[in-house]
Structure 1
């Protein structure tokens, strides 16, 4: 190898280290097992995520019912996310993860049973969705809170990015697979895939070491929840990151419209692509995320990312071609991933003793916003049209993001102090 070739090789290696995703956390066996378990289960969960709204629409033929099916899980999701964060700060996190994962698995078996028996009862589905949301609300903050115990301190951010990226990889393949399975068989096959694959994360959770809380006298009671909310109320920057995410999701999340658009415009085979589109962009942004951490004016970057999300969503709803719709939604997904990284960076500036409770609130916002967005999108579509609901929501999200940035300069002034 010549000197020039060696230099070019070193330059290429340096470029990859600066821009490619950091995989160092995978060297830790406990983290690696939970990473694999999450990756497999995330793939299976997507089958249920697609099957539920499509089955509800098949039963009711109403976009509003699709929105309601997403909204009905909002209250238990918010309540149990916040409480789940307090539990994560008070009890052995391995036990809490095992119990909450088992409850999620049982609700999936319930969805499977109603599909196998062809009950076609939308109210029963709403009850199962609410129960699954409650279990999910406890599970997610705990799953995030255990990460620092499985990797070194300097690898926590990389572990979070790995988890976020693999979940979006699953969100690409899962919906495509779900669309194929539902078209070839029926809804029960999709629920069965989820139930089988979810056993992997149960195995991974059981293999974790004991993870008792350190230096905490919390009992996951009302006082502990109140302490977490009081801490949050005193931090305007964190509250603003929550507010801008809620605006983006409530106003511009179009997922409730996917079954309608597929039925009326693109055909049943488009469902998988529509449900995968956001994740496609998020994965592309994730695997090339090395540059994101080098941005110093992260407040401005966060606002611009949310504006980009809204405008890309609006463009996706305006185009008449499936490939263009998917492409614009992928751009939106990339923007959402970037904003998510910066919002998580702000959250990580909080003390460790509050991590579980703040992660609980964070998850309530991240998961609850899209459910409210589904209700908004479905209700507006029922009185106007799917296209109007889709496009107007994206434009509104971009406008609100600009207003928040201009009204609260502390958000635009936020900088990464490590630079």
Structure 2
């Protein structure tokens, strides 16, 4: 089956592709290379599920806004005068011009640059000059987008009826995330990378650490070998037992301090997610080159920097790492079948002073290196998927189980959309 065939008969052939997917194996090449599959991904995955887009402190004050582009849909996120964060389609109700073109900014009201139609921060049209007598401003408010703020993590959904199970995820995850107090942080650094590869390859790469030992020397400094890319063998059984005992002991201690830590995995839910707080190796304070805290001013009211790293993954487009001194949060936004935006934010305490409490180079060193290494891996995989020699390969039953769970989730959700 070729990409051109899919383009002519997308509905029939997409269903065939979904139906013949073999569990335990990577996806067929068109899932990574076909523009028709990309269009289906945007329609059935990114337009119907909760998509992580940023943090509450991206818009810290009333009038602050940020913009996000999901496929052809420009979205505007703004904090209103009542300190509520809202999301709208970034489209004027007059003749469709984008209201805000910048990634971030601050406004008093939302004024269309074309004909100056003006909206307040709640989305209500409050001024439209040169319209007929009796023109009803109230019938032309901005079109809202569903937004949920989960302990400072912002998710939007473009569907008329968004998945209701977000509430279940929020109920579980809020106690895990809230102690890190995102609302009392600031975005110290944001780095955007454009990967020349399909978004699913980015997610698959993130969902395993089979590749970490040979590719991520900076990241693995703070990770225990038994916590990633590990296939149990008889000669390593004792080391694994000791690691598991240490994890159980740390979890008991952290939970006694009010930090939920035990693993929760619901990757097959419509709003799939997974979380766990894991010990960090060596000094055990942070994901840095020396594993010491990158920021002297710890988050929230933490007194001890050695609280491990809380990891949180969501389907289909995010992962996050929460430590005592800083937070690293990642979002994946598809741009085309062949290009993907990976956006990384580093958050520190809002009162931390650059050059005094933290050094940007040290704060970002591990994940800047890791992101660049992952970009190369994704791009090489994308090149390979375009080869006529490519065929789906088997996942490791020890180190790629989460890749299979992502692929299974994706196939089931795409299939549900096609039906």
Bucket of the pairwise TM-score, normalised by the shorter protein: under 0.3
Greater strand share, structure number:
2
Larger RCO: Structure 1 or Structure 2 (Cα < 8 Å, ≥ 6 residues apart)?
A: 1
Greater helix share, structure number:
1
Larger radius of gyration between Structure 1 and Structure 2? 2
